[in-house]
Amino acid sequence: MTTVTREFHFDRHDEEAKTRQLLEQEWLVTNGLGGYASGTVCGALTRRYHGLLIAAYPSPLGRIVVLNRLTEAIRFADGSMVRFGGDQKEEGLDFHGMEYLTGFRLEDGLPVWRYDINGTVIEKQLVMVHRQNTMHLIYRLLSGEKMVRLKLQPYLQFRHHDASVDSVADEPYMFTAVQNRYQISSGTNSPQLRLVINGGRGNFTLEEKHSTDIFYNEESARGYESLGTLWTAGYFAVDLGIGHDAALTASTETWETIAALPPAASLEMERERRRLLLAAADPRARQGLPAELVLATDQFIITPAGRHKESVRAHAMGDEVCTVIAGYHWFTDWGRDTMISLEGLTLATGRHTEAGWILRTFAHYVKNGLIPNLFPEGHSEGLYHTADASLWFFHALNRYLEYTNDRATLHMIMPQMREIIDRHLSGTSFGIGVDPSDGLLKQGAEGYQLTWMDAKVGDWVVTPRRGKAVELNALWYNALRLMQQWTEQLGDEQYSRQLGGYADQTYRSFNQRFWFADGGYLYDVVDGELGDDSACRPNQLFAISLPYPVLERDRWPNVLDTVRQRLLTPVGLRTLAPGHPDYKPTYHGDLRARDAAYHQGTVWPWLIGTFIDSWMKLYPDQVGAARGFLEGLVQQLNQQCIGSISEIFDAEQPYSPRGCIAQAWSVAEMLRCWLKTAQ
């Protein structure tokens, strides 16, 4: 199988444009535990989340930044020294040798930098060991001088990855060395960062110092503390011969584990693992753009570090704990995002076993008829404040059964699925329950944001949507019909007929209550706090796109045409139509300003999935047109996070990427729809 390569082309003639590109474009490598390495192409730290090793620890620690960056320099035989990389200072850029960076690419999703320093060409590549908190940075001298010396100085700041950049360690850093093994800690309960050089002849020189006033411009733009200080114990110097490798390894694993897999072997095994992922995927996704998306999906599927009880239970029945990181850098695993993403992340990619693990993992957590909304960072218990995640669970299970026909899993988790239905019928937490007068699902509790439009700042719930929300009732109807189908197949005909009666009532009431005749589309919420809400939002499309559509077919063209005209952009759907008093064209500023725009116009690329599903139901012979709706997202693979797709975009041109640099359901829905529209 050929290497999947994405070349990032930057401006070679305009230094200002080049600097901006290298500062704005980012890369991401993950380790299957929730840990990661990430940064800008040029190496400058612009976010609190940037670092060469962010390790995933069991609760209560969570993810910890243990190695922030390196300063790198090369010394030639004549004694001259050239530094490459650099930082941002508050007064401006402090780059050294930016002109020497001549190329950046992803090879099978792993970042490779190329430097041409006065005719001497060096490449470096970063790899993380799967399911380890281990990072290798491998340097290779390709041409020019026969031997050079690398100077690599590691800088660090042990802190939670979400902590402010001005955080200070509780205790002084402690540096120890035994032969060529080096270890840094900060107190008895701190992480243990282990560093070692492999390949070449090298040494370590003690030169403790602080690098002050590191300026994180993305933190500044988002209204957070933006000046931080990093610490270093000294630097490595290692000889690098032509055609040979030298590597810096950073890890929080034991020395025995680190020694078991040298850098070159780690790189080869990780690339082989990725080739196997492509071999297992849909045959149409093994080359080109869809292959890149398959590799991008792998970043989100993790075995969560530290959920010991959950692991014991899973292993006892032959399973593994498996879940989905909703987005990098700051999200953990969310029930809603996991269920929406499941098909694109695991089923289209041939990872059916992991899909089963994920479904059975979440089934274990059903409580009062709800699955968790999210698992907070550093915690083992979930939070349940969501009205739609449990309903998306039915959709995910249905897609899983369509791919696998795994009736054993259906039998196994049927009690939890029935609990979800029954608790919704009788009423459960947060005001979630069916109104017996019309069979429609209502939700709402003071101070809670329960739908996917869940922005909240302090006590302010930006889009509460309390009442009967359109997508919740589309999902509820779909869940009833699926459960009716499954229970009939399993021989419970009485319960199946009962569910059919509930579904019929929901269908009738939905079409009576949700049609906004004056606009020719669907209300977003009925029986809300302020009555019926006619805001034009994308949520109405789920009444068409789901396997069991709740909207009468003769109304589909009006709804789809309204969404196409008012909400569709090249990168997804707006969350609110322009012209509404609450519409926000851009997503920027401090937390309050951003959350005020989060679902009030801001574009979400994952919603292109429901648009394309609806389009192909209505126009099954216009597959080419459906594929065309994805073209704008193709261009985004070279924007923000190279090789992935962002969480959100501004609502108007130039549709700048915002939010998380890599989002699970953005990538998953892009891949799913790409395959669905293949001709």
pLDDT band with cut points at 50, 70 and 90 for residue 621: very high
pLDDT at 431 (0 to 100): 96
Instruction: Give tens-digit pLDDT for 417-461.
Output: 999 999 999 999 999 999 999 999 999 998 899 999 988 888 889
Please give the distance of CA 616 from its chain centroid, rounded to a whole number. 27
Beta pairing partners, 193: 184
**Amino acid, res. 337:** D
Helix (H) or strand (E) holding 494: helix 493-513
pLDDT band with cut points at 50, 70 and 90 for residue 379: low
Q: Which residues contact 225 (CB under 8 A, 6 or more apart)?
A: 164, 165, 166, 219
The more confident residue out of 312 and 563 is: 563
Rounded Cα gap, residues 344 and 330, in angstroms: 21
Rounded Cα gap, residues 256 and 72, in angstroms: 28
Q: Inform me whether the pLDDT recorded for 193 exceeds 80.
A: yes
pLDDT at 153 (0 to 100): 95
In 264-378 the beta strands, taken as DSSP E runs, fall at 301-302, 323-324, 327-328
Q: Inform me whether the pLDDT recorded for 362 exceeds 90.
A: yes
Q: Inform me whether the pLDDT recorded for 45 exceeds 90.
A: yes
Helix (H) or strand (E) holding 193: strand 193-198
Please give the distance of CA 596 from its chain centroid, rounded to a whole number. 22
**Residue with tokens 């000294």, as numbered in its chain:** 234
Q: Inform me whether the pLDDT recorded for 86 exceeds 70.
A: no
Rounded Cα gap, residues 324 and 335, in angstroms: 9
Q: Inform me whether the pLDDT recorded for 309 exceeds 80.
A: no
Instruction: Give tens-digit pLDDT for 458-515.
Output: 888 999 899 999 999 999 999 999 999 999 999 999 999 999 999 999 999 999 999 9
Rounded Cα gap, residues 87 and 424, in angstroms: 53
Instruction: Give tens-digit pLDDT for 261-285.
Output: 999 999 999 999 999 999 999 999 9
Q: Which residues contact 579 (CB under 8 A, 6 or more apart)?
A: none
Inter-residue contact 400 to 409 (CB < 8 Å): yes
- Euclidean distance between the first and final Cα of the chain, in Å? 23
pLDDT band with cut points at 50, 70 and 90 for residue 200: confident
pLDDT band with cut points at 50, 70 and 90 for residue 78: very high
**Amino acid, res. 191:** P
Q: Inform me whether the pLDDT recorded for 388 exceeds 90.
A: yes
Helix axes 389-404, 470-489, angle to 10 degrees: 40
Q: Inform me whether the pLDDT recorded for 89 exceeds 70.
A: no
Q: Inform me whether the pLDDT recorded for 92 exceeds 70.
A: no
